[in-house]
């Protein structure tokens, strides 16, 4: 492929238990190459600053949205797919691990497919974890949501380099920033000047679904006792002490749950707490940044600081400046231009005024 043949390349990483994806649009004059564009062959893409700092990533072609004849001697082709680790999604296993904590079980299952990058080695729980003839991805989803971290929650991401990233978010928030995004002049190596940004927030539906804590009645079959469990979500990164949600929403209830000696004491509470935190971190505030002409080795779940002057140029705008997690990265090559889009997220905006909790 010559440089003029490449029309567009996108490589996207996002937080969550999902593989990075790609799409590529290019022209082709060799008809024999068409036979190789299928699931039986990996597609290797190299990207980086220069030839000395290139990253080689293998993807698996899972879709061909179009292959059309552009001229008499040239095809226009678009291919899409995922990181070349499809067995993570598809290979089903029957297994029991433990007794161990949920985080330990996640690390063990992820290690079958990836290099594990984690800041936490175990959670505050212990039990046997059953993998009932499902893929490692499905198993990790189940264990992840029932892993209990006091006052925190585990976050997961997969990088295009093949790293499985696992973070105790509260612990991460207390560590140093990996990158600083700034609208002013760059003075340090870890600072990145962005071109444009936009802010969005979508709390209504998410809060109604799981952002407002719900009471869950739980009955312990072995002891015959019952209790009401309810998570308490607190701000972790936002400068405000309140989340972006109304203070008075009445009583919120959830369906009845059972507790046995087969699961740890906080099995249901962990799910409620993790779901609540993941929800508010997905909806509280989203900042989309864009910068061009520079390759930076960003990763999902990196802790970053956003610094932007207010409209009066008096200092950083406290409403949206501050700490964030990287939730999504899109690297795009189009018309010989290289652009990076970065989606940042945290649980709430700052300096909120109103009847909130």
Domain map (residue ranges) of the chain: 3-85, 88-170, 171-202+283-346, 203-279
Pick the CATH number of 171-202+283-346 from 3.30.70.330, 2.30.300.10, 3.40.50.720, 3.40.50.450: 2.30.300.10
Domains 88-170 and 171-202+283-346 share a fold: no
Predicted local confidence at residue 317, as pLDDT: 61
Distance CA 303, CA 257 (A): 36
Distance CA 346, CA 353 (A): 18
Is the CATH number 3.55.50 carried by domain 88-170? yes
Q: Which two tokens stand for residue 273?
A: 């707490």
| Closest C-alpha to 188, from 79, 307, 300, 324 | 307
| Closest C-alpha to 303, from 179, 119, 118, 121 | 179
> What does pTM read for this prediction?
0.91
Is 305 in contact with 177 (CB distance < 8 Å)? Answer: yes
Per DSSP, what are the bridge partners of residue 90? none
Distance CA 213, CA 230 (A): 6
- Over the chain (357 residues), the average pLDDT of each successive run of 10 is 88 96 94 92 83 82 92 91 95 95 98 96 97 97 97 96 95 93 82 87 79 85 89 86 73 84 94 93 80 88 86 61 92 89 87 70
Rg from Cα positions in the chain: 23
Predicted local confidence at residue 310, as pLDDT: 66
C-alpha distance from residue 216 to each of 151, 219, 255 (Å): 18, 10, 6
Per-residue three-class SS string for the chain: CCHHHEEEEEEEEEECCCCCEEEEEEEECCHHHHHHCCCCCEEEEEEECCHHHEEEEEEEEEEEEEEEEEECCEEEEEEEEEECCCHHHHCEEEEEEEEECHHHHHHHHHCCCCEEEECCCCCCCCEEEEEEEEEHHHHHHHHHHCCCCCCCCEEEEECCCCEEEEEEHHHHHCCCCCEEEECCCCCCCCEEECCEEEEECCHHHHHHHHHCCCEEEEEECCCCCEEEECCCCCCCCCCCCCCCCECCCCCCECCCEEECCCCCCCHHHHHHHHHHHHHHHHHCEEEEEEEECCCCCCCCCCEEEEECECCCCCCECCCCCEEEEEEEEEEEEECCEEEEEEEEEECCCCCCCCCEC
Q: Which two tokens stand for residue 324?
A: 């964030």
Angle at 178 between CA 174 and CA 182, to 5 degrees: 110
């Amino acid at each position: 492929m010559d440089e003029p043949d490449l029309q567009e390349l996108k490589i996207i990483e996002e937080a969550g238990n999902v593989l990075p994806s790609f799409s590529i649009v290019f022209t082709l004059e060799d008809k024999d190459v068409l036979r190789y564009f299928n699931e039986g062959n990996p597609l290797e893409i190299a990207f980086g600053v220069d030839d000395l700092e290139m990253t080689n990533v293998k993807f698996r072609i899972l879709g061909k949205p179009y292959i059309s004849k552009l001229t008499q001697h040239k095809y226009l082709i678009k291919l899409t797919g995922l990181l070349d680790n499809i067995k993570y999604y598809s290979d089903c296993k029957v297994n029991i691990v433990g007794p161990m904590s949920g985080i330990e079980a996640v690390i063990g299952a992820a290690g079958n497919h990836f290099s594990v990058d984690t800041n936490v080695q175990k959670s505050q729980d212990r039990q046997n974890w059953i993998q009932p003839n499902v893929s490692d991805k499905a198993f990790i989803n189940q264990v992840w949501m029932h892993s209990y971290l006091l006052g925190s929650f585990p976050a997961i991401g997969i990088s295009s380099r093949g790293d499985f990233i696992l973070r105790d978010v509260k612990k991460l928030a207390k560590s140093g920033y990996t990158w600083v995004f700034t609208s002013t002049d760059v003075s340090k190596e870890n600072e990145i000047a962005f071109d444009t940004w936009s802010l969005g927030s979508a709390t209504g539906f998410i809060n109604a679904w799981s952002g407002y804590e719900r009471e869950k009645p739980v009955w312990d079959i072995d002891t015959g006792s019952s209790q009401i469990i309810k998570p308490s979500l607190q701000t972790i990164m936002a400068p405000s002490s309140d989340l972006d949600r109304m203070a008075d929403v009445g009583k919120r209830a959830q369906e009845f749950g059972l507790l046995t000696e087969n699961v740890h004491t906080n099995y249901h509470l962990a799910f409620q707490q993790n779901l609540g935190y993941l929800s508010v971190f997905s909806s509280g505030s989203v900042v989309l940044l864009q910068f061009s002409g520079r390759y930076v080795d960003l990763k999902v779940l990196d802790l970053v600081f956003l610094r932007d002057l207010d409209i009066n140029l008096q200092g950083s705008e406290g409403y949206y400046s501050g700490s964030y997690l990287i939730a999504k990265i899109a690297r795009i090559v189009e018309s010989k231009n290289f652009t990076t889009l970065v989606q940042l997220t945290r649980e709430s905006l700052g300096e909120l005024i109103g009847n909130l909790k």
